[in-house]
Chain A
Amino acid sequence: MNTSYQYSYTNIEELLEILVEKGFIAPATEQQHATVIGRRQVQSSDLAFVTVAPEAARHLILDLRDRFGFTHLVLLTAVDYIEEGKFLLTYLLHNYELHHDIGVQVPIGREAAEAGASMESIHDLWAQAGTYQRELKEMFGIDFPGSPRVDEPFILEGWDEVPPMRREFDTKQYSETTYFPRPGRSTNDPADYMRQKLYPKE
């Protein structure tokens, strides 16, 4: 039993019920698509995901940290849902006492206004979030205004292309124009090869 925080709960389902009461997520039970706001999904007895609007995300994350015992930011990452014009951020938080994880998922516009995709920073909640945010800026072009050194190169030096984790980035084309082809490579089309081998004269 967790007693050291304002909201005590024992299992993930119970946690989600409290989040419903507090109005963070919808009481929906049927499984929905990950980018739908209000969606909740219990993956296992110690892992759940909830999807919330960008405006509500910081409030929820702070509550989870300070009132529910999710003191550890495991990771912050993004998925490009290019067809929907969205990035889906995932803040994975861990509760050390109960060993529960909760993923807070936040859909943000891919190209919000002219500035591009942007999200409120949480570097003041966890210092290491600044590093994640710098990485997301470089790899996806998601901006976190106010985050320390967010505009400095993270691992790509002198990158002047589309951020490489965005799905419109053409990996193959990039490698073809950037790197020299290794000599000695050749390939065969199966249908053509079978024609040469099995019915060359027909």
Chain B
Amino acid sequence: MSLKDILSPLTVWRRTAEKPYTVIDPINDRPGAARYRGFHKNDMEACIGCGTCETICQNAAIDLVPVEGIETTNGDSGLRPQIDYGRCCWCALCVDICTTSSLTMSNEYIWVDTDPEVFRFVPGAENKPWDNSELGYSRAEGYQLLDPERVEMPELEPDTRLTSFIEMVQGYSAEQAKKEADRCVECGICMAACPAHMDIPGYIKAIRENDINGGLALMYQTNPFPASCGRICTHRCEEVCAINHTGDPIAIRWLKRYIADMADESDYQAITKTAEPERTEKVAIIGAGPGGLSAAYYLRLLGYQVTVFEAQPHGGGMLRYGIPEYRLPYDQLDKDIDLVASLGVEIKYNTRINGLKESNGPKESDGPGSDGGPAPSFEQLYQDYDAVFFSTGLPDPYTLGIQGEDHPRVISGISILEDVTAGKTPDLRKSVAVVGGGNVAMDAARTARRMGCEVTVLYRRREVDMPADEEEITEAKEEGVKFITQAIPVRIEDKPEAKGEQAAFVWGEAEMVDQGEDRRPKPVLQEDKIHTDLFDTVVPAIGQGSSLDFIPEDMAAKIGIIKYKIKVGLHGETGEPKIFAGGDISNRLKDAISAIADGHRAAKGIDRYLRENQSKKETS
């Protein structure tokens, strides 16, 4: 033992009289640092249950579970993250990636319990002492693991657009598409919002992996119009996109278009091969629009013999006759239709089912069937085929219901669009008033601009109330269309000096009258604010109605057609078991993708009906 060892205890004793070096720090008061990563908090209202936190968690500590009081709605899965603190390593990647910024961490880290089960809970769903804690970790301002900015789509400048009907949206390059696809977190929240429930994360993933054929095949599982929908879809999916909560939604529609653009014809043939055996049952489809052709496609894949009857000389319905070429070029629509036809679907053009009232469409649509024989009647189809699906859409424009509407200078919006599609030049002249606020009104106005007209759109409500797509309104403005909102048509007069060559359009300013909560305000005409303007052409475009006169009265009653409206079951069933219907005539959304979904579901309904019929025959 050294001398030091003997002496050092004495120096220790000496220190007992000194002020202690250590400070007293009670065990029950040790707050974490301001940005400490402690137990999670989750804003249950802001969270949409996208599961991105679960995906990024390196330790599989997060499960998505249903929570009482949280409903599954459009844009919210109704699930919420449950965290297993036996696995959590407090890295906060879940907070950093959170698409809605709902998930954060408190700075609370002390919690003692003898029951290990309590350390697995849904933050925000069970009252925890730290739920309202101000301190803790949240994503710093400007710090983003997700890219909030959409890859810009190259478009023609407004001045160039006005000179022709060339497609204005130019499409992504491979590099742009991959960059945009990289922003997707593959949560799949969008799939419920899509009327056809397309596998959106699946085909976006295919773009990332450069698997165009795989992506195309996935799209065809639910939608045989990818080239068309990739251009004009109402993209309800993008509204609910998880990325939309803190940035621009993924350009889902443009990515769909990218796949369709990249795939060449041989790819198209390869992906639609079917192993189903041929079946002998015949199905008649009336209307070669998106609804009818979608039904035809899926029925044909199931092996049925399908014949489509179309009054117009070409297929596509409103996609062709209602949407101008600069939004959806005809060759792209033809690409979709040709694939359906190539599977052995017979499409009889220029074949208006007998009794079907003439629309304002091209006149050559009248007359005999394409095989030279007379066009069949609805009853004939009912007799000759094993099932009938009709999806004849809304061809008849609504009238304004005002005095003087029969003026020769009044031409409906839809007939202008139909004329242009048929290669005719509508007689618009110089100054044009378009009445309405929907997509047909915008398309008619923009078409008129391309024909050199000065165009004013008059709409009875405010701009925010317009049913047209936002981009159509923006693009119409860019192209020099003038807008007058809160303008109610009063009557159309003929100025004697104009001799029927100009229409005097009388309209009044409207006041928006509040209708109480949850109801949109109503425009009310102000009698003292009436204007009269002279126009060369007045174009009503306030919506269209169905044309179902081809169905005999007794049959209409059986099907369940009441006042031009028809109610159908989930799979297009009508009151008559053999007859199915879908598309704009029956659904609420009245867009292409809803009609496509209707056609697909009706194909399943028809398949089930025919199989049940077959088994009945076999047992009897």
Interface residues of B in 587-606 (CB under 8 A from A): 597, 601
Give the interface segment out of A45-53, A148-156, A182-190: A182-190
Residues of B within 8 A of A193 (CB): 64, 66, 72, 77-79
Q: How far is the CA of A69 from the CA of B601 in the complex (A)?
A: 78
Chain B residue at minimal CB-CB distance from A190: B77
Q: Does B54 have its Cβ within 8 Å of any Cβ on chain A?
A: yes
Q: Does B197 have its Cβ within 8 Å of any Cβ on chain A?
A: yes
Q: Does B293 have its Cβ within 8 Å of any Cβ on chain A?
A: no
Q: Does B49 have its Cβ within 8 Å of any Cβ on chain A?
A: yes
Contact A190-B65, Cβ < 8 Å, known A175-B60, A199-B192, A202-B601: no
- A5 → chain B, closest Cβ, in Å? 30
Interface residues of B in 51-109 (CB under 8 A from A): 51, 54, 58-60, 62-66, 72, 74, 77-79, 84, 86-87
Residues of B within 8 A of A201 (CB): 570
| Number of residue pairs spanning A and B whose beta carbons lie under 8 angstroms apart | 78
Q: Are the CB atoms of B50 and A186 closer together than 8 Å?
A: no
Q: Does A99 have its Cβ within 8 Å of any Cβ on chain B?
A: no
- A139 → chain B, closest Cβ, in Å? 15
Q: Does B201 have its Cβ within 8 Å of any Cβ on chain A?
A: yes
Q: Are the CB atoms of A202 and B570 closer together than 8 Å?
A: yes
Out of B50, B51, B54, B60, name the residue touching A176 (CB < 8 Å).
B60
Among A176, A193, A197, A201, chain B packs the most CB atoms within 10 A around the CB of A193
Q: Are the CB atoms of B72 and A198 closer together than 8 Å?
A: yes
Chain B residue at minimal CB-CB distance from A170: B58
Q: How far is the CA of A45 from the CA of B129 in the complex (A)?
A: 40
Q: How far is the CA of A187 from the CA of B87 in the complex (A)?
A: 15
Interface size on B, residues (CB 8 A): 32
Out of A172, A184, A194, name the residue touching B77 (CB < 8 Å).
A194
Residues of A within 8 A of B66 (CB): 188, 193
- A147 → chain B, closest Cβ, in Å? 28
Q: Does A72 have its Cβ within 8 Å of any Cβ on chain B?
A: no
Q: Does A43 have its Cβ within 8 Å of any Cβ on chain B?
A: no
- Report whether over half of chain A's contact residues are helix, strand or loop; otherwise say mixed: helix
- A178 → chain B, closest Cβ, in Å? 12
Chain A residue at minimal CB-CB distance from B54: A187
Chain B residue at minimal CB-CB distance from A196: B72
Q: Does A113 have its Cβ within 8 Å of any Cβ on chain B?
A: no
Residues of B within 8 A of A184 (CB): 117, 120
Q: How far is the CA of A38 from the CA of B79 in the complex (A)?
A: 50
Q: Are the CB atoms of B197 and A182 closer together than 8 Å?
A: no
- A194 → chain B, closest Cβ, in Å? 4
Q: How far is the CA of A172 from the CA of B74 in the complex (A)?
A: 33
Out of A190, A195, A199, name the residue touching B64 (CB < 8 Å).
A190
Q: Are the CB atoms of A199 and B197 closer together than 8 Å?
A: yes
- B589 → chain A, closest Cβ, in Å? 14
Among A182, A185, A194, A199, chain B packs the most CB atoms within 10 A around the CB of A194
Residue contacts A-B, CB under 8 angstroms, 29 given: A172-B60, A175-B60, A182-B84, A182-B86, A184-B117, A185-B84, A186-B65, A187-B63, A188-B65, A189-B64, A189-B188, A190-B64, A190-B79, A190-B187, A190-B189, A191-B77, A191-B187, A191-B189, A192-B188, A193-B66, A193-B77, A193-B79, A194-B77, A194-B188, A194-B189, A194-B191, A198-B192, A202-B197, A202-B597
Give 7 new A-B contacts, CB below 8 A, not counting A191-B188, A202-B197.
A176-B60, A185-B84, A188-B64, A188-B79, A192-B188, A194-B192, A202-B570
